[in-house]
Amino acid sequence: MDLIGKVKTLESGTVVELLTTEPNSTTDIPEWLEEAGHDLLGIDERDGHWNISLEVN
């Protein structure tokens, strides 16, 4: 996943919306965000995919 590399290049306060069809992302990404010190803003399921919103710290 290139999310980790991308987040490292972003300024604090940047909001990212990830669209995914991978069900594991709904557990893996929140776990990584907590470990990395970023904020999970929400997870919404829509039309067979998930929108995961996060804020970079």
3-55: CATH topology: Translation Initiation Factor IF3 (3.30.110)
Q: Where are the domains of the chain?
A: 3-55
Alpha-helix residue ranges (DSSP H) falling in 1-57: 3-8, 25-36
d(CA 26, CA 6): 18
pLDDT in tens, 1-46: 588 899 999 999 999 999 999 999 999 999 999 999 999 999 999 9
55 pLDDT more than 90? yes
